[in-house]
C-alpha cells in the first residue's frame, strides 16, 4: 500500500493510504477525542466529538471517518475545534444523568474523561434527563438509558460482532434511542447476557449487575463458610484494573488479595476445568465409539462451558440442543462439588457454605441463577463476581494490588493443569480435550502437546488430528457468536464435517469476556492469550488427566468419568428459551 | 439530587406499553392470513419492508404495529425483531403504539394539494377538534397526513382505516364520508 504524507499539528508524518486522521494522529501522540469510534469496530461517525480542522475546508471534519490524503494539513487543537467539542459535550451532558459519584464507571468513563479534559463540570443546562426506565430485572446486566450518549457501540457489538440483534437504534430526533425492540427489558428478549455491549460502552449506560454487596455480607456473616473460585481468564486481566501491564499474570496476587478480603478458602477453577475435560473427552469418546459400532450418535458434539453460548443456542438453535455436551461448565462443576464433596470433607451443611466465583463473564451470573443449577439441595454458586467487581472490592478494601505478595491456592481444588489454564482462550478447551482424548484412546504419551491450528483470534479455526492409526478427529473452534452461527447453520443443513466443535460466546474466548476490565480491545486480548499459553508452558502438569487431585477425586469419591455420581452432579440438560 | 429518580416514571410518550406482555389477542388467525397475503404480494422481499408494514398497519385494529405482529413479520421474513422495530419506529407513518380506533388520513401529495387538500385538512381538524397528528381525547379518532394513496382520480381524498373516500370538496362531504364509514365502510364516492 502507498504511503501518504501529511501534517498533523504542524508535524509531518507518513502513514499508509486509507488511514483515518484519528489513527494517524495517534502516530504523532495526539489523542483526538472520540466516543462512537472504537478501534475494533466499524466507523459510525455519529457523535462528531472528533472534529478537526483541515486546511482548505471551511467545515470541520470528523477525524474518525476522514481518510488522509497527500499534502493534507490537519489541525486538531484550534479554538474553533475546541469550541465545537465543548458544545457537543455540553449538549450530551444536558441529557445525561450526572451522578458520577454513584456510577460504576466513575474514574473509568470516557465521557467523564472528556469532561475533565475540556474542563467542564456540571453544566448549567437544566438537568431534565429524558430516559427509559432502568432495566435491572435480569441477573447479569443493568441498562441505564439516562447515561446513554447514543454512540451505537453496543449496537455494533450486539448486531455485528455477536449477531444476536437485541439492541437497536429506534425512533428519530428527540426520541432517538438505543434499546431492544419495543423498549423491552433484556430479560424478555433473546439477549444472551454476554456483556459485549457493556464491554464497549464508553459510559455507565450498560454495566454488570453488581453483586459485591451480597459477597461482602456473606463474608461478614460468621455462620457462613465463604469460599471462592477464580476462573482461568481472570488472572491475566485483573492487573489491567490496577495499571499493571496488559496481560500480566497475576495469579498469586489475586489469591493473596482474595484472602485479605476475607474469603475462608481460595480455589482454582482450573481444577474443575480439568474435571470438565475428563468428563467431556469421555463423552466425546463414547459418542465416537458408538459411531464405530455403526450406531448414529449425535455429532458433532458441541462444547457447553460458555453460558452466553448456551443462552444463544437455547434461544435460536433449539433444534440442535442434542449436539451439546451435557457437561456443566467448570464454574458449575465447582459449585456442585462445593456443596457435596467439599461439604462432606469439611463436615459442613451445604447451606452453610457460600460459594463465590470470580469470572470474566456476565453470563456466568445468569448461569449460576438457573434453577437446574442446584446440588445438595442448594444453589451451587451463590454469587458471581466479574473481574471488574473483584477489582472494585480490592480497591475499596485499600489493597495495593500491584504491591501485594503472591500466595497460592488452597487444597483440595488448588491444582490446575496447563490444559485447565488455556480454557480461558478460544481453542483452549479443544486443545485440552485433544491432549486427554489422545492419550486415553491410544494409551500412548502425546509427544507434541501443542495444537497450534486451534490457537489465535481468528473467528473460526479447524484442525484434523490423527488419534492412533484409525481415527482422524475433525474439530472446529469458533469464538464470537456470529461465527457460531456459521457452524450451526452448517449442522442444520446436514453439512457439518466435524466431530467436535468448541464455541465461546465472546471474541477471543473468556479472556475477552464481557466482565473483564474495561478497554479489552483486540490488542489486549492478544496479550492475555499469550499470557495464558505462557502459564500452560510453565506448568509441570499440562494434561487434565494427569492432575493428581482430579485423579484422587475420582478414586476416592466420584468413581468413573460419566459414572453415576458424575451424571448426577456434573452434567445437566438444556431447554428451549422460546421467544 | 439524582435527576434520574424523578424521571423514571416520566418516560417519553410511546413507552407506555413498556414491560407489558404482548399477549393481547390482536394477531388473530384471520389477521395472520391477511398478513400472509400481504407478505406474498411483496414477494417477502425484505427491502420492501416499509411497504409491507404500511399495508399491515392498515388492517390492524388501532392502526399500529404491536410487538406480536412485528415478531410474526420478522419470523416470516427471517429478519431480527430489532430490525423490524428499527424500521417501525423510524418512519413517521408507522406506529409502535396504538393510535385510535379510527385513523383518518388525508392525502397531501401533489394532485390532492392542487384540488384543495388544505381545505380538507381544515375541515377535518374542525370536525374532530384536533390538529393533524393528534388523537381525540376519547381515543376514537386520529388524524394524519399521508403521501399519495392512489386516489388521485377522486381527489381530494381521505382514507378512513384504509377505506378511501373522495372527492370531498366541502365540510358536508367530509361529514358524510365519516358517517358512511361508521355505517359500514362503503368505499369511494
Ligand atoms: S457515565 Fe460517566 S459521566 Fe455519566 S455518571 Fe457515570 S461516570 Fe459520570
Ligand atoms: S449482553 Fe450480548 S446479547 Fe445481550 S444486549 Fe449485550 S451484546 Fe447483545
Ligand atoms: S449504551 Fe453505551 S454503547 Fe450503547 S449507545 Fe449508549 S453509551 Fe453508547
Ligand atoms: S468519534 Fe468520530 S464521530 Fe464519533
Ligand atoms: S395525490 Fe392524493 S391520492 Fe394521489
Does B167 sit behind a cis peptide bond, omega within 30 degrees of 0 on the bond before it? yes
Q: What is residue B70's three-state secondary structure?
A: helix
Distance A100 CA to ligand 3 centre (A): 16
Active-site residue list of A:
280, 283, 305, 325, 364, 367, 372, 510
- The CATH code for residues A281-327+416-513+533-570 is 3.40.950.10
How many other CB atoms are found less than 10 A from the CB of residue A83?
Answer: 10
Going along B40-99, which residue ranges are E strands?
none
The b/e string for A89-126 (b: 16+ C-beta within 10 A; e otherwise) is: beebbebbbbbbeebbbeebbbbbebbeeeeeeebeee
* Cα angle, residue B52 at apex, residues B50 and B58 outer, rounded to 5°: 105
Q: Where are the domains of chain A?
A: 3-77, 91-208, 218-270+333-403, 281-327+416-513+533-570
The reply to whether ligand 5 has any atom less than 6 angstroms from the CB of B111 is yes
> Residue range B122-132: average pLDDT?
92
| 8 A C-beta contact, residue A463 and residue A488 | no
Q: Indicate yes or no: CB of A170 within 8 angstroms of CB of B67.
A: no
Q: What is the pTM (predicted TM-score) of this model?
A: 0.87
Please say if the pLDDT value at position B20 is more than 70.
no
Percentage above 90 pLDDT, chain A: 90
Residue of A231, A179, A543 whose CA lies nearest to A362: A231
| 8 A C-beta contact, residue A329 and residue A336 | no
**Beta-strand relationship, A353-359 and A225-230:** parallel
Q: Where are the domains of chain B?
A: 21-90, 102-184
Residue B11's pLDDT is: 33
pLDDT by residue for chain A (579 residues), tens digit each? 789 999 999 999 999 999 999 999 999 999 999 999 999 999 999 999 999 999 999 999 999 999 999 999 999 999 999 999 999 999 899 889 998 999 999 999 999 999 999 998 765 555 557 788 899 999 999 999 999 999 999 999 999 999 999 999 998 877 899 999 999 999 999 999 999 999 999 999 999 999 999 999 999 999 999 999 999 999 999 999 999 999 999 999 999 999 999 999 999 999 999 999 999 999 999 999 998 898 999 999 999 999 999 999 999 999 999 999 999 999 999 999 999 999 999 999 999 999 999 999 999 999 999 999 999 899 999 999 999 999 999 999 999 999 999 999 999 999 999 999 999 999 999 999 999 999 988 888 988 888 999 999 999 999 999 887 778 899 999 999 999 999 999 999 999 999 999 999 999 999 999 999 998 999 999 999 999 999 999 999 999 999 999 999 999 999 999 999 999 999 999 999 864
B interface test, pick of A182, A204, A482 with most B CB neighbours within 10 Å: A182
Report the residue among A62, A84, A152 best suited for mutation to probe ligand 4: largest number of ligand atoms under 8 A from its CB. Answer: A62
- Give start and end residues of each alpha helix (H) in A339-426: 341-346, 363-368, 387-396, 418-421
CATH topology of domain B102-184: Glutaredoxin (3.40.30)
The matching CATH number, chosen from 2.30.30.90, 3.40.50.280, 3.10.20.740, 1.10.357.10, for A3-77 is 3.10.20.740
Q: Which helix (H) or strand (E) holds A14?
A: strand A11-16
What pairs with residue A464 in β-bridges? A474
Q: Which residues does A288 contact at the CB level (< 8 Å), separation at least 6?
A: A297, A299, A471, A473, A499
Distance in angstroms (rounded) separating the CA atoms of residues B109 and A294: 71
| 8 A C-beta contact, residue A406 and residue A527 | no
Residue of A422, A417, A455 whose CA lies nearest to A439: A417
Residue of B14, B86, B73 whose CA lies nearest to A159: B86
| 8 A C-beta contact, residue A37 and residue A22 | yes
Q: Indicate yes or no: CB of A168 within 8 angstroms of CB of B22.
A: no
| Ligand 1, pocket residues at CB < 6 Å | A 96, 98-100, 103, 105-106, 109, 111-112, 147, 203-204
Please say if the pLDDT value at position B3 is more than 50.
no
Residue B13's pLDDT is: 33
What pairs with residue B8 in β-bridges? none
Cβ–Cβ contact A172 with B under 8 A: yes
Residue A20's pLDDT is: 97
What pairs with residue A474 in β-bridges? A464
What pairs with residue B141 in β-bridges? B102
Residue A352's pLDDT is: 97
Number of H helices, E strands in chain B: 8, 4
Distance in angstroms (rounded) separating the CA atoms of residues A190 and A159: 12
| Ligand 2, pocket residues at CB < 6 Å | A 141, 157-158, 162, 164, 166-167, 186, 191-197
Distance in angstroms (rounded) separating the CA atoms of residues A550 and A476: 27
Distance in angstroms (rounded) separating the CA atoms of residues A96 and A143: 14
In this structure, is the dihedral angle defined by the CA atoms of residues A401, A406, A412 and A414, taken in order, positive or negative? Answer: positive
Q: Which residues does A74 contact at the CB level (< 8 Å), separation at least 6?
A: A6, A7, A8, A9, A21, A24, A25, A52, A53, A54, A55, A63
The reply to whether ligand 3 has any atom less than 6 angstroms from the CB of A234 is no
Residue A95's pLDDT is: 86
Measured in degrees and rounded to the nearest 5, phi and psi for residue A501 equal -130, 130
pLDDT tens, position by position, A147-173: 999 999 999 999 999 999 999 999 887
Interface A–B counts its CB contacts (< 8 A) at 86
The reply to whether ligand 5 has any atom less than 6 angstroms from the CB of B155 is yes
Which pLDDT band holds residue B135 (cuts at 50, 70, 90)? Answer: confident
pLDDT tens, position by position, A309-333: 999 999 999 999 999 999 999 999 9
Q: Residue A62 CA to chain centroid, in angstroms?
A: 31
Q: Is B161 left (phi over 0), alpha (psi -120 to 50) or beta?
A: left
Distance in angstroms (rounded) separating the CA atoms of residues A47 and A87: 12
Q: What is residue A158's three-state secondary structure?
A: helix
Distance in angstroms (rounded) separating the CA atoms of residues B148 and B59: 18
- The CATH code for residues A218-270+333-403 is 3.40.50.1780
Residue B152's pLDDT is: 87
Amino acid at each position: 500500500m502507498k504511503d501518504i504524507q501529511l501534517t498533523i499539528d504542524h508535524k509531518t508524518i507518513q502513514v499508509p493510504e486509507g488511514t483515518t486522521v484519528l489513527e494517524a494522529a495517534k502516530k504523532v501522540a495526539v489523542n483526538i477525542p472520540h466516543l462512537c469510534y472504537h478501534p475494533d469496530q466499524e466507523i459510525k461517525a455519529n457523535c462528531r466529538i472528533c472534529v478537526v480542522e483541515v486546511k482548505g475546508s471551511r467545515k470541520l471534519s470528523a477525524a474518525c471517518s476522514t481518510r488522509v490524503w497527500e499534502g493534507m494539513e490537519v489541525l486538531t487543537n484550534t479554538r474553533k475545534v475546541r469550541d465545537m467539542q465543548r458544545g457537543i459535550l455540553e449538549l450530551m451532558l444536558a441529557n445525561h444523568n450526572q451522578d458520577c459519584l454513584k456510577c460504576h464507571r466513575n474514574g473509568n468513563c470516557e465521557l467523564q474523561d472528556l469532561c475533565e479534559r475540556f474542563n467542564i463540570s456540571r453544566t448549567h443546562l437544566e438537568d431534565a434527563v429524558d430516559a427509559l426506565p432502568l432495566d435491572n430485572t435480569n441477573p447479569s446486566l443493568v441498562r441505564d438509558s439516562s447515561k446513554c450518549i447514543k454512540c451505537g457501540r453496543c449496537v455494533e457489538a450486539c448486531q455485528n460482532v455477536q449477531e444476536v440483534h437485541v439492541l437497536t437504534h429506534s425512533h428519530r430526533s428527540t426520541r432517538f434511542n438505543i434499546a431492544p425492540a419495543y423498549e423491552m427489558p433484556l430479560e424478555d428478549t433473546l439477549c444472551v447476557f454476554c456483556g459485549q455491549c457493556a464491554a464497549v460502552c464508553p459510559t455507565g449506560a450498560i454495566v454488570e449487575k453488581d453483586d459485591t454487596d451480597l459477597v461482602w455480607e456473606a463474608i461478614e456473616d460468621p455462620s457462613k463458610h465463604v469460599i471462592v473460585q477464580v476462573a482461568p481468564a481472570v488472572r491475566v486481566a485483573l492487573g489491567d484494573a490496577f495499571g499493571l501491564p496488559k496481560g500480566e499474570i497475576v495469579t498469586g496476587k489475586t489469591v493473596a488479595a482474595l484472602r485479605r478480603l476475607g474469603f475462608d478458602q481460595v480455589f482454582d477453577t482450573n481444577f474443575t476445568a480439568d474435571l470438565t475435560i475428563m468428563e467431556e473427552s469421555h463423552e466425546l469418546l463414547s459418542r465416537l465409539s458408538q459411531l464405530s459400532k455403526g450406531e448414529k450418535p449425535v455429532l458433532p458434539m458441541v462444547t457447553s462451558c460458555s453460558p452466553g453460548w448456551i443462552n444463544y443456542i437455547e434461544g435460536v438453535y433449539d433444534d440442535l440442543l442434542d449436539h451439546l455436551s451435557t457437561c456443566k461448565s467448570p464454574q458449575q462443576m465447582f459449585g456442585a462439588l462445593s456443596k457435596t464433596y467439599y461439604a462432606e470433607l469439611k463436615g459442613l451443611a451445604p447451606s452453610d457454605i457460600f460459594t463465590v466465583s470470580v469470572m470474566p463473564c456476565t453470563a456466568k451470573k445468569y448461569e449460576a441463577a438457573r434453577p437446574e443449577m442446584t446440588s445438595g439441595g442448594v444453589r451451587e454458586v451463590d454469587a458471581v463476581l466479574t473481574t471488574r467487581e473483584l477489582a472494585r472490592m480490592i480497591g475499596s478494601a485499600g489493597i495495593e494490588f500491584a504491591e501485594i505478595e503472591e500466595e497460592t491456592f488452597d487444597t483440595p481444588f488448588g491444582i490446575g493443569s496447563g490444559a485447565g489454564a488455556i480454557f480461558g482462550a478460544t481453542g483452549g478447551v479443544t486443545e485440552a480435550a485433544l491432549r486427554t482424548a489422545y492419550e486415553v484412546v491410544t494409551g500412548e504419551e502425546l509427544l507434541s502437546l501443542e495444537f497450534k491450528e486451534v490457537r489465535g483470534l481468528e473467528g473460526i479455526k479447524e484442525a484434523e488430528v490423527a488419534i492412533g492409526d484409525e481415527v482422524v478427529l475433525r474439530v472446529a473452534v469458533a469464538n464470537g457468536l456470529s461465527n457460531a452461527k456459521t457452524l450451526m447453520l452448517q449442522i442444520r443443513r446436514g453439512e457439518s464435517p466435524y466431530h467436535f466443535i468448541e464455541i465461546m460466546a465472546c471474541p477471543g474466548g473468556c479472556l475477552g469476556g464481557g466482565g473483564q476490565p474495561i478497554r479489552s480491545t483486540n490488542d489486549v486480548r492478544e496479550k492475555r492469550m499469550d499470557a495464558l499459553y505462557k502459564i500452560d508452558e510453565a506448568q509441570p502438569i499440562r494434561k487434565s488427566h494427569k492432575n493428581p487431585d482430579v485423579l484422587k477425586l475420582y478414586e476416592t469419591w466420584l468413581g468413573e468419568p460419566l459414572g453415576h455420581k458424575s451424571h448426577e452432579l456434573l452434567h445437566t440438560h438444556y431447554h428451549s428459551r422460546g421467544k | 439530587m439524582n435527576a434520574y429518580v424523578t424521571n423514571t416514571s416520566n418516560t417519553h410518550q410511546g413507552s407506555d406499553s413498556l414491560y407489558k406482555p404482548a399477549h393481547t389477542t390482536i394477531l388473530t388467525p384471520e389477521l395472520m392470513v391477511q398478513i400472509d397475503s400481504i407478505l406474498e404480494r411483496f414477494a417477502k422481499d425484505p427491502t420492501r419492508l416499509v411497504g409491507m408494514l404500511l399495508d399491515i398497519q392498515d388492517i390492524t385494529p388501532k392502526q399500529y404495529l404491536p410487538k406480536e405482529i412485528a415478531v410474526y413479520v420478522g419470523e416470516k421474513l427471517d429478519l431480527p425483531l430489532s430490525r423490524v422495530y428499527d424500521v417501525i419506529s423510524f418512519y413517521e407513518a408507522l406506529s409502535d403504539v396504538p393510535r385510535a380506533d379510527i385513523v383518518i388520513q388525508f392525502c397531501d401529495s401533489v394532485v390532492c394539494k392542487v384540488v384543495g387538500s388544505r381545505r380538507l385538512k381544515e375541515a377535518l381538524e374542525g370536525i374532530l377538534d384536533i390538529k393533524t397528528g393528534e388523537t381525540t381525547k376519547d381515543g376514537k379518532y386520529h388524524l394524519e397526513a399521508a403521501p399519495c394513496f392512489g386516489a388521485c382520480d377522486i381527489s381530494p381524498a381521505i382514507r378512513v382505516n384504509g377505506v378511501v373516500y373522495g372527492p370531498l370538496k366541502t365540510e358536508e362531504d367530509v361529514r358524510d364520508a365519516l358517517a358512511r364509514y361508521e355505517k359500514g365502510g362503503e368505499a369511494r364516492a
